[in-house]
Amino acid sequence: MNSMDLKSARVTKGFSQVAAARRLRVSQPYVAMLECGRRRLTPKLARRVMTVYGAPPTVVPLSGALTERCGPDELVKDVAALGYPGFMYMSPRRWKPKNPAAVLLAALANDDLESRLVEALPWLLLRYSTVDREWLVREAKLRDLQNRLGFVATLARRVAERTGKQESVMAMRELEAKLERSRLAREDTLCRKSLPDAERRWLKQHQSEDAKHWNVLTDWTPDALRYAGSTSTLA
C-alpha cells in the first residue's frame, strides 16, 4: 500500500486525519507524513491499518529477504487465515497477519509440500493478484524458485482466463514475463523432491505443456484446482 492508497483508504472510511490518527494510535502529523510518503508503515502499524481501514493483508510490509521457513501446520494456518475456501474450517482464532507474497514464497520453498497446500497456491495468487510482483520475482530468483513460481502463475492465469477475470489475467502474464527471463533449464518438481523414480518417469511422459515449459515435473492442471476459480474469491 503506497501513500496514495493509504489516503484513499482513509477517505473511503470517512475518517479525517485526526480521527484516523486516534484509531491508529499515532499523531495526526504522522498520518500526514504517511500519506505524503515521508514515513513508511511498520509491520505493527500495518496490522492496525488492516483493522481500522479494512485494508488487505498485502499492506503488511515485506522484508528485504525471506529468512524464515514455514512448516505445513503454519502454512495451513496462514492460508486459512488469508481466506482459502478449502481451509475455512481451519481458520485460526488468532493470527499475526502476513503478506500473501511471503506466505506463497514460503510454501514454494518447501522441498515436499502436501497436495492440499500446493492446490491452494494458484488461488493465493489470484485472490491477491496485487501482491508486490517485483519482490516475489527477486526473492524467488535468490532461491532458484522461479520455475515453481512461474508454473503456479501459469496455472492461475489459465483459471483467470476461464472465469473472464481480465485484470488477473494481465497480472499473471506480467509475472510470467518477469520470471521467463530467468527460467532455469534444470528439472524441478512442484515441491515434491522425494518423488520415487517410477513416478518421475511417469510424470516426464504425462506432464502438461505448461509444466514442460517451466521444467517442472507435476501433473497439476487447472481442472484439478477445486477452489481457484471461485468468483467469490478472485480479487
The residue among 95 and 141 whose pLDDT is bigger is 141
Q: Is residue 62 part of a domain?
A: no
State the total domains in the chain. 2
Please check whether residue 223 lies inside any domain of the structure: no
Same domain flag for 77 and 48: no
The answer on pLDDT for 235 being more than 50 is no
Query: Where is the domain boundary, 185, 203, 226?
Result: 185
User: What is the mean pLDDT of the segment spanning 147-158?
Assistant: 98
- How high is the pLDDT of residue 32? 95
Q: Give the residue carrying C-alpha cell 527477486.
A: 138
For residue 192, the SS3 value is strand
Tens digits of residue pLDDT in 15-53 = 999 999 999 999 999 999 999 999 988 888 988 999 899
Give the residue-averaged pLDDT of 143-150.
Answer: 97
Dihedral of CA atoms 104, 139, 211, 201 in degrees, nearest 10, equals: -100
Residues 80 and 37 in one domain: no
Do residues 84 and 28 both lie within one domain? no
**What pLDDT is attached to residue 229?**
67
Mean per-residue pLDDT for 200-206? 94
Contact yes or no for 227/84 (Cβ under 8 A) = yes
Please give the residue that has the higher pLDDT: either 134 or 89.
Answer: 134
In terms of domains, do 93 and 173 share one? yes
**Chain mean pLDDT for the chain:** 91
For position 160, what pLDDT does the model report? 95
* Residues of the chain above pLDDT 70, percent: 94
Q: Can you give the three-state secondary structure of 105-149, one letter per residue? A: HHHHCCCECCHHHHHHHHHHHHHCCCCCHHHHHHHHHHCCCHHHH
Q: Rounded to whole angstroms, how far apart are CA atoms 62 and 121?
A: 18
Same domain, 175 and 125: yes
- Check residue 2 and give its pLDDT: 80
Co-location of 113 and 15 in the same domain: no
- pLDDT tens track for 70-129: 788 899 999 999 999 999 888 888 888 899 999 999 999 999 999 999 999 999 999 999
> Would you state the pLDDT for residue 92?
81
The pLDDT > 90 percentage for the chain reads 75
- Reported as half-sphere exposure (CB side, CA atoms, 13 A), residue 38 has a value of 6
pTM of the model: 0.87
Q: Distance between CA atoms of 62 and 97, rounded to whole angstroms?
A: 12
Q: What is the residue range of 130's domain?
A: 72-185
